[in-house]
Chain A
Amino acid sequence: MSVQAGIEEKLTQQIHPAHLEVINESSNHNVPPGSESHFKVIIVSDEFKGKNLLSRHRLVNKVLADELQNKIHALALHTYTEQEWYDQNEYAPESPPCLGGSKAQ
């Protein structure tokens, strides 16, 4: 299974999103073609209701702990409840460009 499919499966099973986008943004970064290193996740779920941003991100980080530890380098994360997603017209911010500092040298 690709890293991307693994992320989609885990988030779907454990956070029950009403809307989920897992976008591989690795090609924007200084990594070989076909890499699965940089991802952006937009996840809309009422499991986030009543949780602040830190708790929401912690929840996703926990579900993706293995990926974050062993497989991926960056995860842009945008978490919304169904109402919040509706209120902002289903828009999540763009990720920043790479500036080259992927490794500590």
Chain B
Amino acid sequence: MDVMERIKQQVEENPVVIFMKGTPQFPQCGFSSRAAEALKACGEQFAYVNVLADMEIFENLPRFADWPTFPQLYVNGELVGGCDITLELFQKGELQKMVKDAVTAGSNAG
């Protein structure tokens, strides 16, 4: 499958997915680590893609949503943003709601 198709599939099949350096358990970048921590603190399940383990995605993700850096958080198929946006939304309490709504809607649909 074409790499852009693979990214699209990840984004569409998971209500919440983060593309990050490393994994939520073993993040390999401070920005990815903080964003994953905020997601974990939302208390819902989320998917992740370790971009360091998939060179094709690493190289092509920036042009998928025209966003130049990692991590990238997608909720309901839409780019939310990178680390700074994720944290700012978390601090405002908006991320928790966004994630919960997406996961709830996803489980109702599935």
Contacts and interface: CB of A to CB of B under 8 A. Distances in A.
A95 B30 contact: yes
A100 interface: yes
B52 A57 contact: no
Contacts of B21: 101
A99 B34 CA distance: 11
A101 B83 contact: no
Interface of A: 53-54, 57-58, 61, 65, 68-69, 74-78, 93, 95-102, 104-105
Contact of A97 (B30, B68, B79, B89): B30
Size range of the chain B interface in the assembly: 20 to 34
Contacts of B103: none
Nearest to B57: A104
B88 interface: yes
B28 A99 contact: yes
Given A68-B69, A101-B21, A105-B52, A54 B31 contact: no
Interface of B: 21-22, 27-34, 51-52, 55, 58, 66-69, 79-85, 87-89
Contacts of B85: 53-54, 57
Given A104-B52, A104-B55, A53 B68 contact: no
12 contacts: A53-B85, A54-B80, A57-B82, A57-B85, A58-B67, A68-B68, A74-B31, A99-B27, A101-B22, A101-B28, A101-B52, A105-B52
- Interface of chain A, main secondary structure: mixed
Given A54-B85, A69-B68, 4 more contacts: A57-B85, A96-B83, A99-B28, A101-B52
Nearest to A102: B29
